[in-house]
Chain A
């Protein structure tokens, strides 16, 4: 647990970056600091590992006042990841990762072999181990940065916009892997971002800060979307929050009907024998995409004929994914699959809307849903684009 107790930071030039902050980041959870540029996110984060000292108030790590712990000892127990990774350019990847264990006195051989395992955990091939940072892409460097922060198995991790310098596709990958990793590791994480979508995807709880270093609201993502505390938060959270809130409404039995299919490699039926759009599946009933029967009648169903724009709704997944599956499907029928991405059938838009209507609370964002053990984080990933099956 990390607790800010009435913390204020006034820089020597008089700027008040953080103002009387009271806040607790719970053990084993991801707490996200979000807010516009200059609102004091980085300052707050760096006060935790004392790279910046508060002007007033104190910060507690479990039951210890951090100001009573020697800075380098404090920092070795806290992983830190920054935007451009900040790798050591003169050290190989494996030695970058092994840095903290070596500082803590682990013997070199063990530190290196642990580092190799960690590289794999963050999704990097072992072949990268002997390279230098300059030989890696930005996304790969960022993974190394995460591995380095995890190397000494610190109970606490501080992350300052760790994924914002990479392109959106890589960012989403990194976020998903990060959530998977956190499911295993259960670290106490404080995560800074200025991107509200990222905050909602990753956070167990979100602290919205406003310029001047005031805490505007501290809430679960679902609560934040459903009940913004004031106009500033409402504006910051954004326009389509009703729709996004559906992402936290999970566990519903989606209605679905049998959907006619054609297998890849088979011959498409004549236009008279089928509806306008026909779903193509592979040998294991994984949906591959839609074909337009009028254009493809009598031809072999191949990759090139597929329309892949539709998303998939997973049974038991979020209503947002179900709604999106209907809206994105050219046939208007949303494809429903089981956890193994096998076809269950299709749902109609009005059936999903009925389900949403039956939900309590505004737009179905019941304050109680999605506050469980980190499940809300995965909701964004449920609407996997109908392309490759398992994400």
Chain B
């Protein structure tokens, strides 16, 4: 099997034969796309938990924390990718540049989610937990967080899916992931005859990845909340 792109038809529907021709390279891109989408969300959650707890626990801190995280989220991703190396004294095109930027987005998104999730615990339950003699930390871990899981899961779904698309943008500025396929498609096109297969392949793989990660988050959320299904009967 030869690897010359022009042996494949340029019809959008021939993305599958394009994939078969470049299988190992494409899978490599898919793999790095996957972990770039997942790891920052996990890190983001770890950082967002204490911040969200803080803004829930001390109501004065809620408005400033939410304003700052809202602002972070409005920074265009390209700008953030470019700004991170000088801010953190990293090399341009450092491996860490993209994961750091994505972690920032995830934190920005998840702080509110964590705060609102903790806020979803009913006043009665909260009172009961205090009266029973939970220490504040034990209450957080054994009562507040488990009850916040459904709200946090909903936020994680948004974070993971939006990360899949932001990672692709990083691909267009040289990082190895499914975004490369878009650049490749663009480069192989000539003014009058666009070359679709890699572009469509990139799209399809991004969508599949997003759906798969979303399903994983849903499953994990279900596993952690048997009580919600029981309640619905």
Contact = CB atoms under 8 A, between A and B. Distances in A.
B67 interface: no
A101 to B, nearest CB: 11
B227 A90 contact: yes
Interface stretch (B4-12, B128-136, B191-199): B128-136
The 3 A-B residue pairs whose C-beta atoms are closest, nearest first, are A86-B128, A134-B231, A75-B133
B125 A103 contact: no
A53 to B, nearest CB: 13
Contacts of B138: 103
B124 A89 contact: no
A80 B231 contact: no
Interface in B114-146: 122, 124-135, 138, 143, 146
Nearest to A104: B133
A321 to B, nearest CB: 37
Interface in A124-147: 131-132, 134-135, 145
**Interface size class of chain A, counting residues whose CB lies under 8 Å from the partner chain:** 20 to 34
Interface in B195-233: 225-227, 230-231, 233
A341 to B, nearest CB: 39
A99 interface: yes
A82 B147 CA distance: 20
A135 B132 contact: no
Contacts of A83: 124
Interface of B: 122, 124-135, 138, 143, 146-147, 149, 225-227, 230-231, 233
Interface of A: 49, 51, 71-76, 78, 80, 82-92, 99-100, 103, 131-132, 134-135, 145, 148, 158
Given A78-B131, A134-B227, A135-B233, 5 more contacts: A51-B130, A82-B128, A84-B124, A100-B133, A103-B132
Contacts of A84: 124
Given A103-B138, A132-B230, A135-B230, A86 B127 contact: yes
15 contacts: A49-B131, A51-B127, A51-B131, A72-B134, A75-B130, A86-B128, A88-B128, A88-B129, A88-B143, A89-B147, A89-B231, A103-B134, A132-B226, A145-B128, A158-B131
Given A134-B230, A135-B231, A87 B132 contact: no
A88 B125 contact: yes
Contacts of B126: 86
A89 B227 contact: yes
B133 A72 contact: yes
A87 B129 CA distance: 9
B133 A76 contact: yes
